Amino acid sequence: MRLIGHFIAGREVNGVSGRTADVFEPMSGAVQARVALATPAELRAAVADAAAAQREWGATNPQRRARVLMKFLDLVQRDYDSLAELLAREHGKTIPDAKGDIQRGLEVVEFACGIPHLMKGEYTDGAGPGIDIYSMRQPLGVVAGITPFNFPAMIPMWKFAPAIACGNAFLLKPSERCPGVPMALAKLMIEAGLPPGILNVVNGDKEVVDAILDDPDIRAIGFVGSSSIADYIYTRAARAGKRCQCFGGAKNHAIIMPDADLDQVVDALIGAGFGSAGERCMAISVAVPVGKATADCLMEKLIPRVRALRIGTSIDLGADFGPLVTAEAVARVKNYIAVGVAEGATLAVDGRGFTMPECPNGFYLGGSLFDNVTPDMRIYKEEIFGPVLTVVRAHDYAEALALPSEHEYGNGVAIFTRDGDAARDFAARVNVGMVGINVPIPVPVAYYTFGGWKRSGFGDLNQFGPDSIRFYTRTKTITSRWPSGVKEGAEFSIPTMK
């Protein structure tokens, strides 16, 4: 049985706690590895190692730091296929989807390679008589990321690439369900020339998470996961005086106007709703057709497409999506489907009966489609995180706009229309952090920022883009005056530019 430890001081080390967690292969249901669960003492040792290494790394000029990331990009490209297969076998998503996971992470690494420009401060010559003012961005020190199972490559790279580029040391606590790829990425960073200790990976559960939150030397924490845990981490970390950005759950709506191209809409809903078995924080889980005629036509087109979804193993290149991550995830989604039926929604397609005869113990579930869902139902209010699409019929545009705006989550939303006025009005007024116009998954490119509103995001700054540089640095402002030979005497009033 393969044992996965931790990555500290530039090498993989065994865990000492004696506690482990099973790492499953979702497509077969078999246990393929066991991962060590760290103790607070192991976490503390990793932080001390990171703090010692950070001092020299923080003093390294940004261009040299960028070169390490550039080399890392080359190494990931070299190992792309093997990383994608490892990711697929641990998570369950298909290999093409796994490659997309890696690629979206690499795009943030590419952005972080511009760190010599991104960390430039400001300078004003002659701000006052003989006075110059300038600012500089400096790293925080040791920072940490707590990342989820559903994007085991992308989100760790979203976190550690800008943090390390800014001169920090980074401690990563990945999901214990999918630890293999984060460990592989850490090894590639060392091969790229990163000094040992600048990227440490400590595997664990809540015990080590709480140790991260309480450690006095960890200055900032980034988290992605459920909203309840995001709230917990943000509250506890902020109370400890740490800078914190936490991203939680989602209930992403797609508004379908009567003038929309319904063939385009159905393609978008099928991909965005069922890709990666719905285990995405940016998955479309609610379709909102405006008007009865739009809704009836949409359902007529959607039902056969959902029934025709091709579920396969993670290494089946022809599959639309693969298994869910665990047996518990399958049970949770099935329970939500039963709840929806009990609440009175119309179950147009029921995916609970799907089986994979060649992998009878795998964590499979077919696609499900609900119609006539109402905002008071649990299947509308709560995040299902599985291959389930719900249809909430809206009578008019105002009702459709209100649904995502009033929902407790505010991660992403999309509108499908040919009307520019409607699209502009929707983008301006909807109370959601990321908006797509005829784009079903509006994840911004790496030089913008990613972040949801309301219960989808906790903290003032978003992930990647310019916000990541602000998050992982602090600004120091210097006001300088050199003696000019003129004695002005003591000044007792506050300095002004008058």
Q: Which residues are catalytic?
A: 281
Do the Cβ atoms of 469 and 121 come closer than 8 Å?
Answer: no
Beta strands in 301-355 (DSSP E): 346-349
C-alpha atoms less than 13 angstroms from C-alpha of 169 in its C-beta half-sphere: 27
Q: Which two tokens stand for residue 395?
A: 């009578």
> Which residue in the block uniquely carries the two structure tokens 């949801």?
452
Do the Cβ atoms of 329 and 386 come closer than 8 Å?
Answer: yes
Nearest alpha carbon to residue 337 among 278, 280, 293: 278
**At a CB cut-off of 8 Å and minimum separation 6, what does 60 contact?**
167
3-state secondary structure of 244: strand
Q: How far apart are CA 163 and CA 171, in angstroms?
A: 10
Output the CA torsion 416→421→422→424 (10° steps): 80
**At a CB cut-off of 8 Å and minimum separation 6, what does 435 contact?**
412, 413, 414, 415, 426, 427, 442
CA distances from residue 229 to 116, 223, 234, 249, 455 in whole angstroms, order as listed? 35, 9, 8, 10, 11
Q: How far apart are CA 111 and CA 120, in angstroms?
A: 15
Do the Cβ atoms of 264 and 416 come closer than 8 Å?
Answer: yes
Q: How far apart are CA 12 and CA 31, in angstroms?
A: 21
Q: Which two tokens stand for residue 229?
A: 């845990």
**In terms of DSSP H, where are the helices of 12-79?**
40-59, 62-78
Q: Which two tokens stand for residue 211?
A: 């140790």
Nearest alpha carbon to residue 28 among 386, 367, 327: 327
Secondary structure percentages of the chain, helix, strand, coil, to 5: 40, 25, 35
Q: How far apart are CA 43 and CA 35, in angstroms?
A: 15
Nearest alpha carbon to residue 333 among 377, 278, 415, 289: 278
Strands 252-256 and 20-25, bridge-based pairing: unpaired
Q: How far apart are CA 323 and CA 360, in angstroms?
A: 12
Phi and psi at residue 53, to the nearest 5° = -75, -30
